[in-house]
């Protein structure tokens, strides 16, 4: 027997390879540009073509980081952008007065070189860098910050994240239209490089708020060139040149393909920025991202397919990152929808959830069953006992609401996103509610942008939905403030003056221990009324190539890209 196949076998192999190649290419054109490139390399390996340099290898050599970003960016306007997808890009494009160390969450100088705090803890004086510049070379001064803060708080802009300014004197009154004179808000420019901020009362976590999107400055001339001061369309971010002030500046944005940022030569610390470019690739398919990662087309992924976690743990642990973060996965009920107006129904759905099974059998990434909304240990806080699994009590409450055994309860839609983890959780919940409550739940999927539009507090075009929140700043209020009256990301339609009062009382408490006790009381009230139902507290699972350096663990799930670099 020779080492070469017979002519008939060779013909069969050639046909087999051609068919497999055709299947790869059919799949290839259904995916975005990044994943298509990954499949080209895979096909080349199958067909025996010559091996080419991967994007990762080229990136390592040229200083270009290729990042899987999970979904398409919604906004590059920091005053209306929200969520981790947007913030991952905004953190490269913008810088506030203060930034944070990813791991310790301790404040670091940003646009301000240093600051002083008054003895009573209410007044902060920030000193801007005299050489601070926008990405087009324009000087950046305290006037730019005042303009930006006024814009973010303007009621007609309706920023969903304006509550991060509320510790500032009169900021909440201005944001709610109860005060029209912005000069009465606690911001004052002492000169071009000295900014004074006065708080209503001492706020221990105040400096950490300055890392959130809403506190980032925007370039006034750019904003008003393309629209009004309070225009929510964000058209100015689509007009070249896009002007920002961070370590990187926008090079191009091709929707559904990639968003590229390049090193900003006008950034105050440009000499220490070691990446030349970052390319963010949107893909809601974890499988596609993992395939691109293995093919050498991505340096990092947004997440890891559930089916791959154990394999990476055993076969390639150096590539897998499993990190605890302040993250909460929950259900969001539209309390204005007829099916969920009765809190007994909402509570029944919450008590029927088998959280242990979801964490153990589906996730397998170190997540914890959540009985409360707020993750434990954020700023030393321990949440109340909350909602434990109790199917018997769930059935009793559903019967008391008029639906014994689920009889008469309408078919309801559960809204989620088309991604493996969310789909499998939805299916597990669907079966659990059918078995324990006798109710029929239909799973409805929408792409991320459409999903966000559906749960928006203005539209509420859903019945109940998947909810997920990663803390914007390291304090329980990052979670509990969401469900106060008028909060832009509430989305449930639930408003309760008693809950608002409990949160207000907790914030007025200056002693940390007594403040935590007051917040626990507020969270207990929230869970008793059940506009939301906690499912699990999360971890972050990602894949990171070994050439990536400076990629720190981050409890708030953000990265200071100025500190990241690549080694060949």
User: Does the structure show a pLDDT above 60 at 27?
Assistant: no
Query: pTM (2 decimals)?
Result: 0.87
User: Does the structure show a pLDDT above 80 at 293?
Assistant: yes
DSSP letters spanning 4-59: SPPHHHHHHHHHHHHHHHHHHHHHHTTS-HHHHHHHHHHHHHHHTPPP---HHHHH
User: Does the structure show a pLDDT above 70 at 326?
Assistant: yes
Helix/strand/coil for 79: coil
Domain extents in the chain: 92-246, 324-540
Ramachandran sector of residue 145 (left: φ over 0; alpha: ψ -120 to 50; beta: rest): alpha
Which pLDDT value is given to residue 41? 42
Region 244-273: mean pLDDT is 97
Strand 64-68 with 277-281, pairing: parallel
Mean pLDDT value across the chain: 91
As a whole number of angstroms, the distance between CA 478 and CA 545 comes to 32
- Measure the CA angle with vertex 235, ends 99 and 227; round to 5°: 105
Which pLDDT value is given to residue 226? 85
User: Does the structure show a pLDDT above 90 at 65?
Assistant: yes
Which pLDDT value is given to residue 23? 36
What are the C-alpha distances in Å from 259 to residues 76, 316, 335, 522? Answer: 11, 29, 37, 41
User: Does the structure show a pLDDT above 90 at 321?
Assistant: yes
Confidence of residue 85 (pLDDT cuts 50, 70, 90): very high
pLDDT digits (tens, 9 = 90+) for 202-257: 999 999 999 999 999 999 999 999 888 999 999 999 988 999 999 999 999 999 99
Tokens 């009382």 correspond to 505
Distance of CA 135 to the CA centre of its chain: 25
Question: Which is the CATH superfamily of the domain at 92-246?
Answer: Dipeptide-binding Protein; Domain 1 (3.90.76.10)
Confidence of residue 330 (pLDDT cuts 50, 70, 90): very high
User: Does the structure show a pLDDT above 50 at 144?
Assistant: yes
Region 92-112: mean pLDDT is 97
Confidence of residue 51 (pLDDT cuts 50, 70, 90): low
Helix/strand/coil for 18: helix
Which pLDDT value is given to residue 52? 87
What is 324-540's CATH number, 3.30.70.2190, 3.10.105.10, 3.40.50.300, 3.20.80.10?
A: 3.10.105.10
User: Does the structure show a pLDDT above 70 at 6?
Assistant: no
User: Does the structure show a pLDDT above 60 at 1?
Assistant: no
User: Does the structure show a pLDDT above 80 at 9?
Assistant: no
Lowest average pLDDT, out of 141-150, 186-195, 274-283, 356-365, goes to 356-365
- Percent of the residues in the chain that have a pLDDT greater than 70, as a whole number: 91
Confidence of residue 83 (pLDDT cuts 50, 70, 90): confident
Describe the strand order of the beta sheet including 64-68 as a list of residue ranges: 64-68, 277-281, 258-263, 248-254
Helix/strand/coil for 65: strand
Within 10 angstroms of residue 458's Cβ, the number of other Cβ atoms is 10
Choose among 553, 552, 544: nearest CA to 65. 544
User: Does the structure show a pLDDT above 70 at 37?
Assistant: no
Confirm whether 92-246 and 324-540 share one CATH topology. Answer: no
pLDDT digits (tens, 9 = 90+) for 486-506: 898 999 999 999 999 999 999
Confidence of residue 82 (pLDDT cuts 50, 70, 90): confident
User: Does the structure show a pLDDT above 90 at 474?
Assistant: yes
Helix/strand/coil for 21: helix
């Amino acid at each position: 027997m020779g080492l070469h196949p017979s002519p008939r076998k060779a013909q069969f192999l050639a046909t087999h390879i051609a068919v497999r190649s055709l299947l790869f290419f059919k799949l290839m054109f259904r995916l975005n540009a990044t994943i298509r490139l990954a499949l080209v390399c895979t096909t080349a390996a199958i067909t025996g073509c010559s091996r080419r340099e991967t994007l990762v290898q080229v990136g390592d050599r040229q200083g270009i980081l290729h990042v899987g970003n999970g979904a398409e960016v919604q906004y590059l306007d920091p005053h209306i952008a929200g969520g981790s997808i947007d913030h991952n890009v905004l953190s490269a494009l913008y810088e506030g007065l203060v930034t944070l160390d990813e791991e310790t969450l301790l404040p670091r100088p940003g646009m301000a070189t240093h600051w002083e705090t008054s003895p009573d803890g209410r007044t902060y004086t920030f000193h801007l860098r005299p050489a601070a510049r926008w990405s087009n070379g324009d000087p950046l001064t305290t006037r730019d910050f005042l303009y930006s803060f006024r814009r973010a708080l303007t009621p007609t802009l309706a920023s969903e994240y304006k509550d991060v300014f509320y510790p500032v004197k009169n900021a909440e009154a201005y944001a709610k239209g109860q005060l029209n004179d912005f000069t009465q808000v606690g911001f004052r420019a002492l000169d071009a490089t000295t900014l004074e901020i006065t708080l209503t009362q001492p706020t221990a976590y105040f400096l950490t708020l300055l890392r959130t999107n809403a506190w980032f400055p925007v370039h006034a001339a750019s904003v008003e060139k393309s629209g009004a001061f309070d225009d929510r369309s964000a058209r100015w971010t689509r007009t070249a040149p896009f002007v920002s002030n961070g370590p990187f500046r926008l090079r191009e944005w091709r929707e559904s393909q990639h968003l590229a940022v390049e090193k900003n030569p006008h950034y105050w610390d440009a000499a220490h920025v070691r990446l030349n470019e970052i390319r963010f690739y949107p893909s809601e398919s974890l499988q596609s991202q993992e395939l691109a990662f293995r093919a050498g087309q991505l340096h990092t992924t947004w997440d890891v397919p559930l089916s791959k976690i154990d394999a990476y743990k055993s076969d390639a642990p150096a590539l897998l990152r499993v990190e605890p973060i302040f993250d909460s996965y929950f259900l969001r009920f539209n309390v204005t929808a007829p099916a969920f107006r009765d809190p007994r129904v909402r509570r029944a759905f919450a008590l029927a959830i088998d959280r242990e099974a979801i964490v153990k059998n589906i996730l397998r990434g170190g997540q914890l069953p959540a009985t409360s909304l707020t993750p434990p240990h954020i700023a030393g806080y321990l949440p109340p006992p909350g909602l434990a699994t109790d199917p018997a009590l769930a059935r009793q409450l559903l019967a008391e609401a008029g639906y014994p055994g689920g009889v008469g309860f309408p078919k309801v839609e559960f809204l989620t996103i088309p991604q493996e983890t969310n789909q499998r959780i939805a299916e597990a919940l669907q079966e659990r509610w059918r078995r324990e409550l006798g109710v029929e739940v239909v799973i409805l999927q929408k792409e991320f942008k459409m999903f966000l539009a559906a749960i928006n507090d203005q539209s509420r075009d859903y019945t109940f939905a998947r909810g997920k929140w990663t803390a914007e700043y390291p304090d329980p209020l990052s979670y509990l403030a969401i469900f106060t009256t008028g909060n832009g990301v509430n989305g449930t339609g639930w408003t309760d003056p008693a809950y608002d009062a409990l949160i207000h009382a907790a914030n007025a408490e200056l002693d940390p221990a007594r403040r935590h006790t007051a917040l626990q009381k507020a969270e207990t009230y929230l869970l008793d009324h059940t506009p939301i139902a906690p499912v699990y507290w999360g971890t972050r699972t990602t894949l990171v190539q070994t050439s990536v350096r400076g990629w720190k663990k981050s409890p708030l799930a953000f990265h200071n890209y100025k500190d990241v670099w690549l080694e060949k």
